[in-house]
Amino acid sequence: EAGVAQSPRYKIIEKRQSVAFWCNPISGHATLYWYQQILGQGPKLLIQFQNNGVVDDSQLPKDRFSAERLKGVDSTLKIQPAKLEDSAVYLCASSLAASGGADTQYFGPGTRLTVL
């Protein structure tokens, strides 16, 4: 079974530029998550989708970050404009369904973003 796919794996941009990341979850997984992992820290949830609806985006900096999951499968996360502090690894994860905390989230390889 194919795992969570993400692209690109690496991205280097100048501050104030825009960037987009793509994620394809495990087939059949209804729930998709985007996490931000700053160097030396654990991942922090940015946004969670169930099918194509947003479940939790309380920690998403909405002035510059946006995400969508059209058709309830693939998802894109965009940053516009990027700041130096956005340098991090962006991880996408998916799970079968939100089931009261029992779901196991499976992670993709991540996109390492460097903002210069």
Partner 1 sequence: AQKVTQAQTEISVVEKEDVTLDCVYETRDTTYYLFWYKQPPSGELVFLIRRNSFDEQNEISGRYSWNFQKSTSSFNFTITASQVVDSAVYFCALSEFTGGGNKLTFGTGTQLKVEL
Indicate the pairing of strand 10-13 with strand 111-115.
Answer: parallel
The answer to the question of residue 81 lying near partner 1 (CB under 8 A) is: no
| Amino acid found at 107 | F
The binder of partner 1 chosen from 23, 43, 69, 77 (CB under 8 A): 43
The answer to the question of residue 89 lying near partner 1 (CB under 8 A) is: yes
Q: Give the integer Cα–Cα distance in Å for 101 and 11.
A: 33
Q: Give the integer Cα–Cα distance in Å for 108 and 35.
A: 11
The answer to the question of residue 46 lying near partner 1 (CB under 8 A) is: no
Q: Give the integer Cα–Cα distance in Å for 39 and 54.
A: 27
The binder of partner 1 chosen from 2, 40, 63, 70 (CB under 8 A): 40
- Chain residues binding partner 1 by CB under 8 A are 31, 33, 40-45, 48, 50, 55-56, 89, 91, 93, 95, 98-110, 112
